[in-house]
Chains A and B, each alone.
Chain A
C-alpha cells in the first residue's frame, strides 16, 4: 500500500534496539557512547535488567539519597549515571525506554528540558490513550497521582537523550533503600514511596506496552531494527563512559562525611 509508505516519507531514520535483561550499567554505557559518538537517532528498549541496582543521577549525593548502611550491608550495587535527575532502584521488573536524537530529528522541537519532556509526553500519550488517566506531572509519568515512570535527560551541543525507567512492577523491600529526596515534585506531597508510585502492570500487559511504544515511536521516526550484536562493535572504540559503579569505599566515605 502506498499510503503507509508515503506516511513514512520525510520521517527521520531511527535505529531501534531491543534488549531483555541487559545489565543496567551496560545499557547506560551504550547510551552514553551513542550520545557522544553517534550521529544517528536511536531508540533503546531494555525489557528488565538483571540484579536489583540503585541508579543515581549525575550529581546525586549518596548520603542524602540512600540508606547507605542497608545498601552496604545488603551489597546492593550503586551506579552514578551520566544524566541528571533522581534516584531509582531497578530490577527485572523495570522496563527502560531511551530516545537519543539529533537536534533536528523532531521538527520544531527546541533542545531544552521542558520541550523534550513535553514531546515525550505526546509520544507516551499515544501509548496510554484511554488508559488510566495518564499524564506527565512535573517530569514524572503518572496515572492519576501515582508515578510509574521516571525521566532523565542530557542535552549536548548537537544531540539529546531522554530516558525513562518504567515501574512494571517493584518489590516494596527495594524501595526501602531509597530516602525521600530533598527536592521532590510538589504533587508528591511528602508521600512515602509506597503511596506515591504504582505499577504499570496493573494497567497494561508488558508486551503490549513495548509494542505500543514502538508503534508510537514509528509515528515520529522511520524505525530500523538493529540486532544487539551491532552495538558490540561500538565498545571496541576508545570511548570512556562516565557512568560507573560507586565503590564501597566511596559509599562508606559519604556516610562518614554525613555523620551517619
Chain B
C-alpha cells in the first residue's frame, strides 16, 4: 500500500471542551501571560436566549508576573465566582437539578462532582472547575435550571481562577494583531464549529457569523476556508473514482499557514481507519517486497468498455475499465494460484485460496479502506460491475460491513484514477501481491515496420511478497493478465 496520510473523518461533535463541567482546561503556555493582550472570560456558556456574562479584562505585563501557567483574572474583589450550569449538549436549554453532592461550606477540589442534573434522557454529573469552598447553593433538587444560570457560588482563591478564553489557544500569537484593535469579543459558536475552524487553521474570530447574534456556523467556516483556498471543493473528494485520495493534512495546513502568514505546526491525532493504517502498514513494512513493472496496451480494453456502454440494456449502470480488469485478473489467477494466496509466518505455509476475493482500494471520507468482491471467479463482468458499485456507495457512506472488508485474497489499487504513472504499493497482509495501476496515457509506440502510432498505455506495478513469490512467477502471471487485457476476446475461450 502506498502509505501516506489521509484526511481523517472527525465525529463533528468532537473538539475542545471549552466550558464543560468535567473538562480539563487546556493549559495556556506560560508565554501567553507575557503578552499584552485583551481577552474575554465567559463565566457562562452562551446559548440562544441567554446573556453570557462578558468581562473584558485588559492585561498589563506587570500583572502577568503573578500568574501560573494558567492565565488568571480578577473576577471580583472578594474572590466569589458564579458557577453556571454549563452547556451539556447542543440545543439543550435547561436541566432538572436532581441532587447535590456538596453543601454550603464544603471545601471542593477541582473536578470534584458538585451535583447531578437531568436533561431529556440523560443524568449528568457536573464537576467543579475550581478549587475552593461552596459559598452559596442557589437551587434545590427538583428545580429546573437554565443553561447559563448560576448553580452555586464558590469562594475561590484569587490567583487560582482559571480563564476561559474564546478563540483558538494554539493561535494565541494572533492576539498580537488584535492588540491594537478594539477587541469587542470572541465570536459565538459551538465547540464543533470551533474544532472545524481549528482543523483548517482558521482563527474563528476572523470569520463572519451568519447565525443568530452573529453566531459563526459551520457553513461560515467552510465558506471562509474556501475563500482562503484552504480546502478544495468537497465534491471532488466525493466523486473521485476508485483509488487512494491523498490530501495530506500537512499540505492543507501548510496552505492555511501561508494564507494566515504563520508557519505553525498542527498536531493531528490519528484515529479510526488512519490509526489502523499505522499498524497495518508497520507490519507490512517488515515484509520483503519486490516490485515488477509492466506496460499494458489498453486500446482493446477501451473499445470493449465503449461497446458495453453503447449496448447497455440496464439503466443506472456505468461501465468502467475496472470490472474488466478484475475479471481478467481472476482468469490469470486461475493459472497462477500462488499469487492468490496467504502466507502463514508461524507455520511457514502458503494457503492457496480457492476464492478470488479481489480487494479494491477506495478512498472514503474516513480514510483508506479495501472492500473486496467475493468469488470473482464465479461472477460475470456485469455482476462484478454491480457489486463494485454497491461497495463504492457503502464506502462513501461509511457503511461497509466487516464482511465486506475481510477475506480478501489480492488487492487492486487504481491510483491512476487520481493520477501518476505508477506507484510502489505495499502488500495488504496477509495477501502476497498487490497491483497498482497508473493512469492510462496516450503514448507513442513503434510498430514492427518502424512506423510510430499512438496507443493507450497503462503502467502497472505489482508489489509482491518475496518470501512467497519470485520474479519469474510474477512476470509470467503478469504476462497472462496482460494478454487478457490486450486481447479480451481470449476471455471468451475460458468462459464457463
Chain A residues closer than 8 Å to B89, beta-carbon distance:
112-115
Q: Is the CB of A6 within 8 A of B279?
A: yes
Q: Is the CB of A2 within 8 A of B429?
A: yes
A194, B213: Cα distance in complex, Å = 43
A205 at the interface (CB under 8 A from B): no
Q: Is the CB of A157 within 8 A of B111?
A: yes
Q: Is the CB of B10 within 8 A of A108?
A: yes
A247 at the interface (CB under 8 A from B): no
Mark interface residues in B80-120 (1 if CB within 8 Å of A CB, else 0). Answer: 00000000111110001010000000000001010000111
Chain A residues closer than 8 Å to B91, beta-carbon distance:
114
The smallest C-beta distance from A119 to any residue of chain B, in angstroms, reads: 8
Chain A residues closer than 8 Å to B279, beta-carbon distance:
6, 9-10
Q: Is the CB of B122 within 8 A of A6?
A: no
Chain B residues closer than 8 Å to A129, beta-carbon distance:
399, 401
What are some 25 contacts across the A-B interface (CB < 8 A)?
A: A1-B342, A1-B406, A2-B283, A3-B407, A3-B408, A3-B429, A4-B406, A7-B402, A9-B276, A59-B98, A83-B123, A84-B118, A84-B119, A84-B120, A85-B120, A107-B272, A109-B14, A110-B13, A112-B89, A113-B119, A113-B124, A129-B401, A155-B123, A155-B124, A157-B22
Q: Is the CB of B98 within 8 A of A115?
A: no
The smallest C-beta distance from A9 to any residue of chain B, in angstroms, reads: 5
A178 at the interface (CB under 8 A from B): no
A86, B119: Cα distance in complex, Å = 11
Given contacts A2-B430, A10-B279, A115-B89, contact A155 B14 (CB under 8 A): no
Q: Which of A18-26, A90-98, A146-154 contacts B (4 or more CB under 8 A)?
A: A146-154
Mark interface residues in B9-49 (1 if CB within 8 Å of A CB, else 0). Answer: 01101110100101000000000000000000000000000
Q: Which of A133-160 contact B (CB under 8 A)?
A: 139, 151-158
A112, B276: Cα distance in complex, Å = 26
| One of A126, A155, A218 near B122 (C-beta < 8 A) | A155
Q: Is the CB of A153 within 8 A of B276?
A: no
A134, B405: Cα distance in complex, Å = 23
Mark interface residues in B369-412 (1 if CB within 8 Å of A CB, else 0). Answer: 00000000000000000000000000000010110011110000
The smallest C-beta distance from B21 to any residue of chain A, in angstroms, reads: 9
The smallest C-beta distance from B289 to any residue of chain A, in angstroms, reads: 16
Interface size on B, residues (CB 8 A): 46
Interface size on A, residues (CB 8 A): 44
Interface residues of chain A, those whose CB is within 8 Å of chain B, are 1-4, 6-7, 9-10, 57-59, 82-86, 107-119, 125-126, 129, 139, 151-158, 215, 218-219
B125 at the interface (CB under 8 A from A): yes
| One of A59, A83, A114, A218 near B90 (C-beta < 8 A) | A114
B275 at the interface (CB under 8 A from A): yes
Q: Is the CB of B120 within 8 A of A113?
A: yes
B341 at the interface (CB under 8 A from A): no
The smallest C-beta distance from B161 to any residue of chain A, in angstroms, reads: 21
Q: Is the CB of B122 within 8 A of A84?
A: yes
Q: Is the CB of B122 within 8 A of A108?
A: no
A4, B127: Cα distance in complex, Å = 40
B318 at the interface (CB under 8 A from A): no
Residue of A nearest to B403 (CB): A215
The smallest C-beta distance from A8 to any residue of chain B, in angstroms, reads: 9
Chain A residues closer than 8 Å to B120, beta-carbon distance:
84-85, 113, 139
A1, B11: Cα distance in complex, Å = 30
A1, B17: Cα distance in complex, Å = 40
The smallest C-beta distance from B267 to any residue of chain A, in angstroms, reads: 14
| One of A6, A109, A219 near B429 (C-beta < 8 A) | A6
Q: Is the CB of A110 within 8 A of B122?
A: no
Interface residues of chain B, those whose CB is within 8 Å of chain A, are 10-11, 13-15, 17, 20, 22, 88-92, 96, 98, 111, 113, 118-125, 127, 142, 191, 271-272, 275-276, 279-280, 283, 342, 399, 401-402, 405-408, 428-430
The smallest C-beta distance from A100 to any residue of chain B, in angstroms, reads: 14
Q: Is the CB of B88 within 8 A of A112?
A: yes
A157, B276: Cα distance in complex, Å = 29
The smallest C-beta distance from A112 to any residue of chain B, in angstroms, reads: 4
A3, B406: Cα distance in complex, Å = 7
Q: Is the CB of A154 within 8 A of B123?
A: yes
Q: Is the CB of B123 within 8 A of A117?
A: no
Q: Is the CB of A215 within 8 A of B408?
A: no
Q: Is the CB of A115 within 8 A of B122?
A: no
Q: Is the CB of A157 within 8 A of B125?
A: yes
- A10, A59, A111 — which one has the most chain B CB atoms within 10 A of its CB? A59
Residue of A nearest to B111 (CB): A157
Residue of B nearest to A154 (CB): B123
| One of B123, B342, B408 near A82 (C-beta < 8 A) | B123
Residue of A nearest to B9 (CB): A108
Chain B residues closer than 8 Å to A113, beta-carbon distance:
88-89, 92, 119-122, 124
A6, B123: Cα distance in complex, Å = 37
| One of B22, B92, B123, B280 near A58 (C-beta < 8 A) | B123
Residue of A nearest to B408 (CB): A3
A107, B431: Cα distance in complex, Å = 29
Q: Is the CB of A114 within 8 A of B13?
A: yes
Q: Is the CB of A125 within 8 A of B121?
A: no
Given contacts A3-B430, A7-B276, A114-B91, contact A155 B408 (CB under 8 A): no
Q: Is the CB of A154 within 8 A of B122?
A: yes
A133, B406: Cα distance in complex, Å = 27
Residue of A nearest to B118 (CB): A84
Chain B residues closer than 8 Å to A156, beta-carbon distance:
113, 125
Residue of B nearest to A122 (CB): B398
Q: Is the CB of B399 within 8 A of A108?
A: no
Chain B residues closer than 8 Å to A2, beta-carbon distance:
283, 429-430
Chain B residues closer than 8 Å to A151, beta-carbon distance:
121
A31, B148: Cα distance in complex, Å = 31
Q: A110-B17, A115-B89 are in contact. List 6 more A-B contacts (CB 8 A).
A: A3-B428, A83-B122, A112-B122, A139-B121, A151-B121, A157-B22
Chain A residues closer than 8 Å to B22, beta-carbon distance:
111, 157-158
